[in-house]
Amino acid sequence: MAFNSMTFLFAFLPFLLLVYFLARGRGLRNGVLVLASLIFYAAGGTTALLALIASIIGNYGLGLGIEAARARSARSARLVLSVGVLANVGLLGYFKYSGFVIGTLIRAFGLEIQVPSVVALTGVSFFTFLGISYLVDIYRERALAARNPLDAGLYIADFATLLAGPIVRWEDFAPQVRDRQESVPTFAEGAERFIIGLGKKAILAGGLAALNADVFAVRIGALSVLDAWLGAIAYTLQIYFDFSGYSDMAIGLGLMFGIRLPENFRWPYVATSITDFWRRWHMSLSRWFRDYVYIPLGGSRVGNVRLVLNLFIVWGLTGLWHGAAWVFVAWGLYYGALLVVEKLVLGARIERIWRPMRHGAVLVAVIVGWVIFSAPGVYAALDRLQVMFGLAGAPLTGPRTIFYLVEYRFDLLVGIILSMPVGAWVAQRLERAGSSAIGTIARTVRPVGFALVFALSIAFLVSTSYQPFIYFKF
C-alpha cells in the first residue's frame, strides 16, 4: 500500500485516525498504531509480514538481552550486540542480496548452482537499519530497551517510516513512545505537510518521470546531447520531488499522531560542495552511516590512507544499500571518490572558489551521479554519459529536442523553481507580515491553497497510471 493510493487516502488513513482518536490511553493507542502498521505492510505478502514480525520480536528480545548481559560484563553485552547486528544484517542479506551474491559468484567462477528465488521485501533496508539502531543505542546506553514489545514494534514497524524512512534513531524515538502529546495544531501541521508531499509526488514528479521515460525509451544511438541532458535533468528533479515528497508525507503522518520524525531533505540542489549535498539529501541515511559505520571506523580523525579507506567503505556500503547491483556500488564509489578529492585535494581551498562556480560543479556532479543511479547497468550508464558529454558522436540537438522542451516546459520550469527554497522564502516573508493586510490575506487564503493542492493531486492520481515511489525498491 502506498501513501498516494486511493485505498490509503480514502479508506486506510481515515479509518485509522477514527479508531486511534477514539482509543483512550497511550498503551491502547500504541497498540492501534502497531496493528495498523502490520496491516499496512501485509499488502506486501505473508513472507514480508512474517519477516517484519520476526524483526520486531528478535530485536525486542535482544535489546533486553543487552541490558541483562551488561550487568554481567561489557564483553557479554558486546557479544549479544554482535549477534543482534549479524541477525539484522543476515535478514537484509538473505532477502535483498542472496541472488546478487550467488549470481556474481556464478559469473566470476563459472559455478553451476541455481540462483535462489527469494521474494524481495519492500522496505527491508529501512526496518533492518532501525533494528540495528535500536540495539546499538541500547548498547551505548543512549536509551533503555523497550519493556513492552508493542513499543519496540511501534519503532520498527511504524507505517509512516516503514517503506522509505526517514530513518529515525531509537534514542530520538524512544521518548515519544510514551510521552508524546497529540494536539489540534500539531495535527493541522501534519496534514499540511502531508499535502505538500502528496503534491510533490502527484503533480511534480509524475510529469518529470514521463520526460525521463520518453528520452531513455529512445535507442541510445538516436539521442542528441541535449536530449540526454534533458532526460538526466528530468530524473534529477523527479527523484527529488518523489523522495522528498514521500518524506514530507511520512513526517506529516507522524505529526498527526503526535510523533516528530527527523527532516530528510534541506534543499539539496543549492549545495556548494558534495559534502554539503549529503548534509542536505537523505539526511537520515547520511546520519545513520556516520553514527553507526563511519565514526566507529575512526571517521576523519585518522591518517589520510585510513581516511580514504573509510570513505570508500562507507560509500561502497551506501551504494550497495540502495540496490543489489553493481551499478549501485559504482554510484556509491563515485561519491566516495568525489569526497576523497574534496577532502584531501581541494581541502579548505574549495571555499575560495567563486560560489556560483562551486554550485554549478556540484549540480553537474550530482546529475552525473543520478545517471549512474538510474541506469539499468554500469555499461548503460557509461553509454548515457558518453552521449551527454559528446563522446559518442551524437549531434548537439535533434528533432526530438524541441518537442521535449515544448511538451514538458512547465514541468521543467516549475520543477527547477520549486527545487530551490523559493517557497520557504515566500512563507518566511508572509510570516513576517504578521497582522498586516498581506499577512491577514495569506492566513485566509492558506487553507484554500492546501485544499486546492490536495484536489489537484487527487485529479493527477486518478488521471495517470499508478507510479510507486522510487525508493520503495530499496
Length of the chain in residues, anyone?
A: 474
Q: Do 277 and 362 meet the contact criterion of CB atoms below 8 Å apart?
A: yes
Q: Do 127 and 88 meet the contact criterion of CB atoms below 8 Å apart?
A: no
CA atoms within 13 A on the CB side of 394: 26
How far is the CA of 462 from the CAs of 203, 205, 209, 236, 282, in angstroms? 11, 15, 16, 25, 29
Q: Do 287 and 168 meet the contact criterion of CB atoms below 8 Å apart?
A: no
CA 260/CA 254 separation, integer angstroms: 6
The DSSP letter of residue 455 is H
Query: Residue 296's closest CA among 313, 277, 320?
Result: 313
> Which grid cell is 59?
530485536
Query: Residue 20's closest CA among 36, 2, 1?
Result: 36
Q: Which residue of the set 322, 343, 384, 400 is catalytic?
A: 322
How far is the CA of 313 from the CAs of 101, 293, 337, in angstroms? 18, 9, 11
Q: Is 322 one of the catalytic residues?
A: yes
CB-based contacts of 285, cutoff 8 Å, min separation 6: 165, 167, 318, 321
| Three-class secondary structure of residue 465 per DSSP | coil
- Element of type H or E holding 363: helix 355-374
Could you tell me how many helices (H) and strands (E) the chain has, helices first? Answer: 23, 0
> Which grid cell is 132?
540495528
Peptide bond into 166 cis (omega under 30): yes
By annotation, the residues acting in catalysis are 322
